Amino acid sequence: MRAAVAGPAEVKHVSSVPAVEAKNLFKVFGRNPKDAVRRLSAGQSRAEVTDSGTAAVIDASFRVEPGEIFVVMGLSGSGKSTIIRMLNGLLPPTAGEVLVNGRNVTTASSSELRDIRRTSVSMVFQHFALLPHLTVLDNAAYALEIQGVGKAERRRRAREILEKVGLGDRAEAMPDELSGGMRQRVGLARALTAGSDILLMDEAFSALDPLIRREMQEQLVELQRELGRTIIFITHDLNEAMFLGDRIAVMRDGRIVQNGTPEEILTDPANDYVAQFVQDVDRARVLTASAVMEPPTLTTPVSAGVRGALRVLRSQQAGAVFAIENRRLVGVVIDRAVIRAVKSGQGDLRQIVDTTVATVGPDDLLVDIVERAVEAAVPLAVVDENRRLLGVIPRVTLLAALGNVPAVTREMPVIQSPIDMVAQFTPLLDEMSGVTATPVAAMAEGGVR
Amino acid sequence: MDGFRIPLGQWIEAVVDVLGDTLGWLFDAIANVLGVVYESLEWLLQTPPFWVIIALLAALAWWAKGGKLAVGTALGLLVIVGVDQWDAAMDTLALVLVASAIAIAISIPVGIWAARDDRVSRVVRPVLDFLQTMPAFVYLIPAIIFFGVGAVPGMIATILFALAPGVRLTELGIRGVDAEVVEAGHAFGATPGRILRQIQLPLALPSIMAGVNQVIMLSLSMVVIAGMVGAGGLGGEIVRAIGRINVGLGFEAGISVVILAMMLDRITSALGRDGHARRVSKARTARDAQDAAGAVSRIPTAA
């Protein structure tokens, strides 16, 4: 899912004006907002300026690229709803400015602002905000009605979008007749019908029950992929943020405390607050293979032959090793096969490589690779589309990542219980090299680890 | 306290004098217009035979609510005919309708304005308090000075007295519209006028209609007072009954007022529940039926 979303978004990145840009936004409610902004800028805290007003948003800056799902996440009172309302000018900022597709919302006249809202930004509301006296169809067509589109045309387009959100058969119903999930689909349809390329979604799924919410999230991702809109999504639910967001801004007490990809936030929280926040996240649905993989140390080039493989196995005290050719993964070689090959005098590694090794892509979510990790005898190999080996995920690393414990697996390179190395390998090596190695030497080498 | 007295009365007299001198032409014009409107309506109600009017009002009741109210309306009006108060009742009805229409025409825009602007609201509120609590008789004095004797000063006093609930309930209704829905209007780029027309007024309609209903009820309560300045109608009959200590006449005219009041109240409050509310209750029923039908409402994700 993530890879597919990132594709078109990245292409657009290269061009252009950001879809939405917020520059040093402040919003203070109360008696003396300007004074509060001045003092906040000078470094005073939110609590210190309460005599001048309540600071809802403090010095928020961010850019949202076209085609991106940008999530603003925070608990209630963190200022996220205030931020989203400044983006389309429903609330004027106390200081700072907002650019939408390069147009300045903050300084726009009221008619310019209406034009921006009609053409560029539409909004989906937490409690749906449908017009109760209009049918579902007319609600969905509302934005077009404001734009001055004729009745037949706007109804046709609204019907199209209603089909897309799965409400084609309820077009003539009144909003009261629908369940919460259906009503929010109408809200979404209304925003999509407007044809604007930016969608502001204010806690859009928070009023829905969990099953419907998950369904809506999936549908939103699907729609976004299909329609390529820029979405700014407000939520207090971290799992929702992690599921939807290409990037997430975490807010606390009016400030953006971290702005990054879901993985960055999860694996590298900016402070204790974020760290504590992400503790309960369903990590398997957020972390990708590339976020948890480790450098592939247990590799041997095919050209090094059976002997090379044996050397690695021995020095690393491992039971299996990945065979590489031109940095591409060929397969995995296990110790028993190596020993058999050595015994039968075979030198070509290619003959004994098991090419059916389990691989995963770098963008695969952990939830999707757990099963393969359980079944595989060796660590999962993370390869890109050219089968280049990017890293490996030993089972212990996977478990550590899911359990949010620091992964200190460096000291345990054992990826498969090795057979008795000393007993099996030493005589073989001696035989091959023709040098007499004492058992003492072998034991000393084994003790290096 | 000896000798100290606020000459409030004298000030008011002075103001009334000045108003009478400078705006006399305006008051005359208002009196003429109101007089003509009132007399036309009165003529319209009294010219046809009583059963035509009864049939029309019963039909209105039917349309507004249903058969029961239509029958009740017809029976009530027949009682008025039976106690020989028909002409007076039609005079009163004309007066109430004209006064209410004007009061509504003033109070709804003022209510809208007050809902949109806090400063207006702060100014309007004490004015409404004043209008509503000042004993209604007091309006009659300047009304007589400005407009002479008859139906017109009665109507003016009635309008002033009846304004308040119209303004208050309109403001309340508009302020009570779900803020998120209004925000949605703004967010999609609707002009304030469109938001008022398409969102605020339709959603505030039940409250506004309750205001209309209250305006009409208060107007009816003023008929007796209007009767004292020669407005005629049922109020005039009651004033006559008081003068003659005629219990029978007083009761007959009084019960006619009650019947008119009940009829107007039921019809207008039914109109208030019309549209939105009625459709909602229909929708509820439909949804309940759907829920009962089971989990059919779950729609597939893959659109």
Sheet hosting strand A359-360, strand order edge to edge? A359-360, A380-383, A389-393
Task: Look at residue A431 in the predicted model and tell me its pLDDT.
Answer: 55
Q: Does A90 touch chain B (CB under 8 A)?
A: yes
User: What are the phi and psi torsion angles at B149 (to 5°)?
Assistant: -95, 150
Q: Which of A177, A137, A175, A180 is nearest to B285 (CA)?
A: A177
Cα–Cα distance measured from residue B62 to residue B68, given in angstroms and rounded to the nearest whole number:
8
Q: How far is CA A155 from CA A111, A172, B134, in A?
A: 26, 11, 54
Local structure of B74: helix, strand or coil:
helix
Residues of chain B with C-beta less than 8 angstroms from the C-beta of A115: 189
pLDDT over 70, % of chain B: 89
Chain B residue with Cα closest to A195: B188
pLDDT exceeds 60 at position B183: yes
CB pairs under 8 A between A and B: 91
Task: Look at residue A227 in the predicted model and tell me its pLDDT.
Answer: 87
- Residue length, chain B? 303
Task: Please report, to the nearest 10 degrees, the dihedral formed by the alpha carbons of residues A18, A21, A23, A25 taken in order.
Answer: -170
Query: Model's pTM, two decimal places?
Result: 0.71
**In contact, A224 and A231? CB cutoff 8 Å:** yes
Long-range contacts at B283-291 (CB < 8 A, ≥ 24 apart): B283/A174, B283/A176, B283/A177, B284/A176, B286/A177, B287/A176, B287/A177, B287/A178, B290/A177
Q: Which residues pair with B87 in a beta bridge?
A: none
Chain A residue with Cα closest to B184: A129
List the single residue in A115, A129, A177 with the smallest CB-CB distance to B181.
Answer: A129
Cα angle at A56 between A55 and A60, to 5 degrees? Answer: 100
Task: Please report the beta strands in A179-327, taking only residues with DSSP state E, as ranges in sequence order.
Answer: 198-202, 230-235, 247-252, 255-260, 299-301, 320-325
Q: Does A163 touch chain B (CB under 8 A)?
A: yes
Q: Does A184 touch chain B (CB under 8 A)?
A: no
Reported as a single tens digit per residue, the pLDDT across B90-115 is: 999 999 999 999 999 999 999 999 99
Task: Look at residue A314 in the predicted model and tell me its pLDDT.
Answer: 84
Q: What residue type is assigned to position B135 of the chain? A: P
Task: Look at residue A428 in the predicted model and tell me its pLDDT.
Answer: 55
Cα–Cα distance measured from residue B27 to residue A92, given in angstroms and rounded to the nearest whole number:
47
pLDDT in tens, chain A (449 residues): 344 444 444 444 445 789 999 999 999 998 889 989 988 888 888 888 888 889 999 999 999 999 999 999 988 888 888 999 999 999 999 999 999 998 999 999 999 999 999 999 999 998 989 999 999 999 999 999 999 999 999 999 999 999 988 888 989 999 999 988 889 999 999 999 988 899 999 988 888 877 788 888 888 988 888 888 999 999 988 888 888 999 999 998 889 999 999 888 888 888 888 888 777 777 777 788 887 888 888 888 888 888 888 888 888 888 888 888 888 888 888 888 888 888 888 888 888 888 888 888 888 888 888 888 877 778 888 888 888 888 888 888 888 887 766 544 444 444 455 555 555 555 555 555 544 444 444 444 444 33
Q: Does A297 touch chain B (CB under 8 A)?
A: no
Task: Look at residue B110 in the predicted model and tell me its pLDDT.
Answer: 95
Task: Kindly state the tokens that stand for A4.
Answer: 């597919």
**In contact, B77 and B60? CB cutoff 8 Å:** no
DSSP string, B11-60: HHHHHHHHHHHHSHHHHHHHHHHHHHHHHHHHHHHHSS-HHHHHHHHHHH
Reported as a single tens digit per residue, the pLDDT across B14-42 is: 988 888 888 888 888 888 898 899 999 99
DSSP state of B149: S
Q: Does A142 touch chain B (CB under 8 A)?
A: yes
